[in-house]
């Protein structure tokens, strides 16, 4: 029947007849799906796919039946599941679970928990089944990643991330999961195991996809933040604000800029004194000493390992928040994470806490410097 002929037939039917026809088609489709699963059980059990020239059941489904890889994966998982657990097949026949639901529970069913899980998933929606499955699984390790995905939509298309249901959906769909894990694996191989963040080139106007896994507490806090913020705030707006607040408190460059502003204001007030000299920034102020009672500085009697915050911030700013290790060919390390403050002349050999004697190194280069120092002193 052509599309035109079908349209003519359907046009003559009443609404009620259309509904009945649709219901019947869905029922047939469901019964056919079970028939396909039963056939798959036999095809695998008798190794028919091998005799027919296919390397695997997956190869059979994708090449012979032209199933997409995710669909083939779902059918195979479901077929094996109903073969091992007849209760699941009964549930499927009674339409108390969908084929997708069966493929989802397939990985967690054991002889011990099958009865309980079958009872729990019976009649549940896919999203609810995902929650039940998650409670039986150890979460897979999610590789933290930031990857460019395209340019900002100039028309400002609707951002789906603002959908509350989407934000707090427990798991991606199997298809989404499949595609994402492939990408993540590829990227891991390409970047040689380094954090993808380090290899990003900043491009204004680009949009990025950021992935990480989080605890239940984080999800709860995020849900709460969403509740207390305006409805128009999406995940980016909420986390963006939180990060800005954190940087305002912790970023040495911002702290340093504020400190310089304060000093300039102070000096303006007490005119007659010399203007701000950046070199004087490294000197700890009385305020720093007050902040850390009991901890001396290089100026106090009795040496202390404690480096005043002001001095740390000045060194961090001068070194641009980046490891200063430079190779003999002039290549500078680009690490901006796990940074440590290092004394060029070691503290134990009388090295001072001063801008000139301090530098930023990443953990690896700090250890390398320490090893080289101990070798030269042997």
Residues that bind Zn ion (CB under 5 A): 323, 325, 333, 335, 362, 365
> What's the closest the beta carbon of residue 308 comes to Zn ion, in angstroms?
24
C-alpha span between 127 and 101 (Å, rounded) = 9
> What's the closest the beta carbon of residue 367 comes to Zn ion, in angstroms?
10
Of 235 and 333, the one with the shorter C-beta distance to Zn ion is: 333
C-alpha span between 138 and 45 (Å, rounded) = 30
Q: What is the dihedral of CA 78, 79, 85, 89, to 10 degrees?
A: 80
- In the three-class reduction of DSSP (H, G, I as helix; E, B as strand; rest coil), residue 278 is classed as helix
Of 297 and 324, the one with the shorter C-beta distance to Zn ion is: 324
- In the three-class reduction of DSSP (H, G, I as helix; E, B as strand; rest coil), residue 141 is classed as coil
> What's the closest the beta carbon of residue 327 comes to Zn ion, in angstroms?
10
Of 91 and 362, the one with the shorter C-beta distance to Zn ion is: 362
CB count in 10 Å sphere of residue 368: 14
- What stretches of the chain show up as alpha helix (H) in DSSP? 3-11, 15-45, 48-51, 57-59, 69-84, 86-93, 99-105, 114-121, 126-134, 164-167, 174-190, 216-228, 235-250, 252-269, 286-291, 309-318, 363-376
CA nearest neighbour of 106 among 96, 95, 94, 118? 118
Of 1 and 331, the one with the shorter C-beta distance to Zn ion is: 331
Of 105 and 362, the one with the shorter C-beta distance to Zn ion is: 362
CA nearest neighbour of 134 among 150, 151, 146, 117? 117
Of 83 and 318, the one with the shorter C-beta distance to Zn ion is: 318
> What's the closest the beta carbon of residue 322 comes to Zn ion, in angstroms?
8
Q: Is residue 338 within 8 Å of residue 363, measured between CB atoms?
A: yes
Cα angle at 71 between 70 and 72, to 5 degrees? Answer: 90
> What's the closest the beta carbon of residue 194 comes to Zn ion, in angstroms?
12
> What's the closest the beta carbon of residue 36 comes to Zn ion, in angstroms?
57
C-alpha span between 325 and 366 (Å, rounded) = 9
Of 335 and 358, the one with the shorter C-beta distance to Zn ion is: 335
> What's the closest the beta carbon of residue 364 comes to Zn ion, in angstroms?
6
């Amino acid at each position: 029947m052509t599309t035109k002929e079908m349209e003519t037939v359907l046009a003559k039917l009443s609404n009620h007849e259309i509904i009945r026809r649709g219901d019947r088609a869905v029922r047939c489709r469901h019964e056919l799906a079970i028939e396909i699963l039963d056939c798959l059980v036999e095809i695998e059990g008798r190794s028919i796919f091998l005799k027919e020239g296919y390397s695997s059941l997956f190869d059979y489904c994708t090449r012979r039946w032209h199933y997409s890889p995710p669909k083939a994966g779902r059918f195979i998982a479901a077929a094996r599941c109903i073969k091992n657990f007849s209760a699941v097949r009964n549930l499927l026949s009674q339409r108390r679970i969908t084929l997708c639901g069966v493929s989802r529970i397939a990985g967690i069913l054991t002889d011990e928990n099958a009865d309980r899980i079958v009872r729990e998933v019976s009649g549940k929606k896919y999203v609810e089944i995902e929650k039940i499955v998650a409670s039986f699984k150890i979460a897979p390790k999610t590789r933290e990643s930031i990857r460019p995905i395209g340019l900002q939509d100039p028309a400002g298309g609707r951002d789906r991330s603002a959908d509350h249901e989407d934000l707090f959906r427990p798991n991606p769909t199997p298809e989404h999961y499949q595609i994402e894990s492939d990408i993540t694996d590829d990227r891991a191989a390409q970047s040689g195991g380094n954090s993808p963040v380090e290899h990003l080139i900043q491009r204004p106007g680009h949009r990025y996809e950021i992935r990480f896994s989080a605890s239940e507490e984080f999800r709860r806090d995020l849900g709460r933040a969403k509740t207390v913020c305006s409805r128009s705030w999406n995940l980016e707006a909420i986390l963006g604000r939180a990060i800005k607040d954190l940087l305002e408190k912790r970023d040495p460059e911002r702290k340093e800029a504020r400190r310089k502003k304060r000093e300039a204001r102070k000096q303006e007030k007490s005119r007659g004194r010399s203007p701000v000299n950046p070199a004087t920034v490294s000197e700890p102020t009385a305020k720093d000493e007050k902040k850390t009672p009991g901890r001396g500085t290089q100026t106090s009697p009795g040496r202390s390992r404690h480096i005043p915050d002001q001095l740390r911030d000045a060194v961090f700013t001068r070194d641009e928040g980046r490891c200063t290790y430079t190779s003999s060919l002039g290549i500078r390390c680009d690490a901006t994470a796990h940074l440590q403050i290092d004394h060029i002349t070691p503290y134990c050999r009388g090295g001072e806490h001063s801008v000139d004697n301090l530098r930023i190194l990443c953990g690896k280069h700090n250890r390398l410097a320490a090893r080289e120092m101990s070798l030269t002193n042997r």
